[in-house]
A and B are shown apart, each in its own frame.
Chain A
Amino acid sequence: MASIPLQHSNHQETWTQPTRGTVAMVGLIIAESSIFTIFVVAYVYYLGRDVQGPTPKEVLDVPIFYTVCLLSSSFFIWLAERAIGHGKMAAFRLWWSITILLGITFLYGTATEWHKLIVRDQLTISTNLFGTTYYSLVGLHASHVVIGVIMMLVTVALAFAGAVGPQHAYRVRTLALYWHFVDAVWVVVFTVVYVVGR
């Protein structure tokens, strides 16, 4: 049943290929970027086309503090990646936890913003085109943050249980790649929604 062996003696050199986790995460990021592009285009296309309010200018405040939180988390997760690469597990747990806290702070910011918009400004997803596109674009991003936070929480729980070691540096880096992507998307969403669109 076995196959005919096909071997060459002249292939003594090392054979290296990209790691599959990285390739797969890059693939996922391409697909996600494509989805976000569609939502961003819809947001920009419908800017200012509403026949009734509220408009972005009337109700949106720029969430500078929460933006700083999210963007700086990319720095802390990079520190965590470096720490696990050097085998410093205590440092890894510290930087990783800080990243999670920053992510949760950002989500708290989104939650309070939505609460204000819904309760005070009477803007829901069905109010007008702005409501539809705003909640779906920001909500799509926030749902990615939620998924990232959940995955990082699982990692940190395992790390405190002693189940994550330096041998998992590659998996941690793959997850961090996702988090960097989520942060990069926020730069686009922030620019479109709070800078250009306001």
Chain B
Amino acid sequence: MNCQKIQQLLLADYLDGEVSERIKHEVEGHLDLCCACRQFERAVQDAAIRPFKQARRIRPPDEVWNKLKEAIASEEQAAGAGFLANIWDVMQSIFSNPKLAFTILIMAIASLAIMVIAMDVYLNNQRVVKNSAHIEQPIKQVKYLSEIIGVSEYPSSDDEPSDEYDSHDGYGTAIEEYFL
């Protein structure tokens, strides 16, 4: 490697530890022999490397934190106001276009009509269910009367088995027994 190539490496890769071991040895071998390149390396170190090594961390002044808190608070406020403003903008854009406004109005009316119909159907169903509850009462009464007079037209679950019920030839009254 010639001096020019070595000095290019000294300006970046070699000083930054980004060269392979082989290249590193080659550069070091050259520096041992070449006074000009050694001087060049020292100059680069003095001008561009060493001054930055002692750079300190500097904390920002306290006012930065105070300003930051204020900025975040105003950002959040703006975000809230921005949301309302967006809604307002959308409304304005809708009503500034008659065709769009008409479509939305029709859709709203249709939705309202569907809701009314659905509500009506629901209420009717409720009424039918209530009426069926009223029907059950007379059925119970007939059942009760039939039990009194001994007619098992409405057998209950705790009645005798059905074959016994089927074997009855009559009503079991005194008149019937007399004739039979």
Do these two chains really belong together in a complex?
A: no
State the B residues within 8 Å of A (CB).
none
